[in-house]
Every structure is written in C-alpha cells, then in structure tokens.
Amino acid sequence: VRLGVDIGGTKTDVVLVRDDVVIARHRAPSGFGEEDVIRSATAAVGAVLAHAGIGFDDVRSIGIGVPGGVVDGVVTYALNLGLERLDLAGALEEAWGLRPVVDNDVNVAALGAWTHLGRTDDSLAYLNLGTGLAAGLILGGRLWRGANGTAGELGHISVDPKGPADADGLPGALETYASGSGITRQWGVQGAVARDVFDAADRGDPTAIAIREGLYFGVASAVRALVLMLDVQRVIIGGGLAAHSAEILLGTARQFAEWGSRSAFLESLALQERLLVLDADAPVAALGAADLGAGDVSRG
C-alpha cells in the first residue's frame, strides 16, 4: 500500500492507496509549529492504518504535500503551519523509518487532479484559491516546477496598478482579488472569513459586492493569463474558495463573455470551457501525494 498525506493549513488529509484505489482515508486538524505538525501527521497516518487494519511495515511509500517552498524534503515559509524552515522528510524518516517524498501542496494537488481525471490530459493547471493563490502545472504529462521550484506563483502577477494592495502594499495582485487572505484583507473586519464577505454581499453591502466582483475578475484574469501563457487544456479550480464555485463560474462566464465580445482571439480560446471544479470532498491533494511518494508519475 501507498500513503498520501496532505498537510494543509487547517486539515491533514491522509489516504491509503492500494492498486490505485483509495482503501482508507482519515482527516484531522493540522498541528502548528514543528513538533505539532509532525505529531499530527504521525497521528493521522496511525489512524488511517488502524482504520484499514494495516501495519506500517506494509507501507511501500509515503508522499506528502505541504504549503510553502520545498527543496529536497526541506519545507520553507509554510507560514500557515508555523514553519519557517523544517527538514520534514528528514524528521519523518527518523520517526517512521521510511523517507517520504515531500512537495508543495499545490503541485501535489495538480498531480492528484491529473490522476483523478485519468491522466488523459496532456496539460492542466490546478488553480488553488486558498489562503493564497497559486497554480500547479502539468505540462506534457509532467509536473513543471521551474528552475528554482517557484513555478505557478501567479498570485503575485498584478493586473491593475490601481488595484487593492497586497500584504506588501503592491497593487492589483491576483492573490488580493482571489484568495481567502486577499478577500479578508480587502474587507478589513478583524477575524472575518471570506464567507462573511459573501454573506454581506448577499445582503446587498456595496463594499462586499465590489470585493465579490473583484474575485470573479481575479479568477477570470488568472485563467486568461494561464491559458494565454501556457495553452493548458484544462484549468481546475480548487482550494477553499472552490466552495463558492457555482457563483465563481457564473462570474467568470460573464467576464469572459465581455472580453470575448470584443476580441475574437480571446473568444477562440474557449476559456470557460477549459474550467473544471472537482468535488470539494475528493482527496485530490492526498491522492497526488500518494502518486508522488510512489514515484509513478513522470516528473520534470
């Protein structure tokens, strides 16, 4: 059996895979800080194995997805998990006696989505609308990580020099429009979450409505940039904001129609038809992590 572990900012999701079928799954809150992250991941792995009645000795491989940068199993700047720098592969190898393969959670989700869709697409982008905004890229059936492992950081592309400010004060970043942190920063109410902004928009609050319109503009702009730059066959929308996918898809359709009505070239790209939202409950990232650990995916 193979283990796939997705250590998210809030939840740790573990799947046990045998012959490409998920035979057990366990979800639990993620820890915060080095010790707690390791403890919660270990506990979740123990729980899924106990649930399946399988011993650790039968595990062939472990793959892990985490937020932040990952090079050779070392995680940096996973700030949602309270990690500045942690040799996660090393620490878990010591604890488990088996070295896991670790990668960025968005890359892992892209792999998982690709597997979930049968690996028939030559290219796809997994656009993660989570706390931040980033994409995992499958190009030519391989994960593209870039020269330094920072490919897919399109959240920092600016689409408006007069747009709302990001955490650094830079205007118009895609992440400001279309991520949980960006939406709540624009809203400015202490302790609020994106849901609160959408509720306020539903009640007719004009500021909230403008932020919600900005979300549609941001997602549409991200998809436009991904397809123009890479001509990926599909763009899969995932992350926490995908819970609002019905409204988001209506919003992007409206934006694409406006652009397409003026530009035959943009119209010809069929941006909306490339969009896909996966079932929010599908263990896409954990599944991708299991693939990653097993090494049965071609990687660039």
Compose the 118-147 pattern: x for residues touching a second copy by CB under 8 A, - for all others: ----xx-----------x-x-xx-x-xxxx
Distance CA(140)–CA(119), nearest Å, equals 11
Q: Does 153 participate in binding a second copy (rule CB under 8 A)?
A: yes
Shortest distance, position 73 Cβ to a second copy, whole Å: 19
Residues making up the chain, counted from first to last? 300
The answer to whether 77 and 84 are in contact (CB under 8 A) is yes
The answer to whether 288 and 110 are in contact (CB under 8 A) is yes
Site for a second copy in 16-75 (CB under 8 A): none
Q: Write out the two tokens for 31.
A: 């820890």
Q: Does 231 participate in binding a second copy (rule CB under 8 A)?
A: yes
Site for a second copy (CB under 8 A): which residue of 154, 197, 215, 271? 154
Shortest distance, position 130 Cβ to a second copy, whole Å: 17
Shortest distance, position 133 Cβ to a second copy, whole Å: 11
Q: Does 249 participate in binding a second copy (rule CB under 8 A)?
A: no
Distance CA(61)–CA(220), nearest Å, equals 38
Q: Which is nearer to a second copy, 163 or 283 (CB)?
A: 163
Site for a second copy (CB under 8 A): which residue of 31, 100, 152, 251? 152
- Order of all β-strands in the sheet with 21-29: 21-29, 11-18, 2-7, 61-66, 101-104
Shortest distance, position 137 Cβ to a second copy, whole Å: 8
Q: Which is nearer to a second copy, 40 or 104 (CB)?
A: 104
The answer to whether 239 and 231 are in contact (CB under 8 A) is no
Distance CA(38)–CA(220), nearest Å, equals 37
Q: Does 80 participate in binding a second copy (rule CB under 8 A)?
A: no
Site for a second copy in 162-201 (CB under 8 A): 162, 166, 168-170, 172
Q: Does 213 participate in binding a second copy (rule CB under 8 A)?
A: no
Q: Does 266 participate in binding a second copy (rule CB under 8 A)?
A: yes
DSSP 222: H
Distance CA(58)–CA(239), nearest Å, equals 32
Distance CA(201)–CA(1), nearest Å, equals 47
Residue whose entry in the numeric block shows the structure tokens 């992440």: 175
Q: Does 224 participate in binding a second copy (rule CB under 8 A)?
A: yes
Shortest distance, position 201 Cβ to a second copy, whole Å: 20
Helices (H) and strands (E) in the chain, counts: 11, 13
Shortest distance, position 114 Cβ to a second copy, whole Å: 14
The answer to whether 103 and 292 are in contact (CB under 8 A) is yes
Contact residues toward a second copy (CB under 8 A) are 122-123, 135, 137, 139-140, 142, 144-162, 166, 168-170, 172, 221, 224-226, 228-233, 259, 262-266, 269, 300
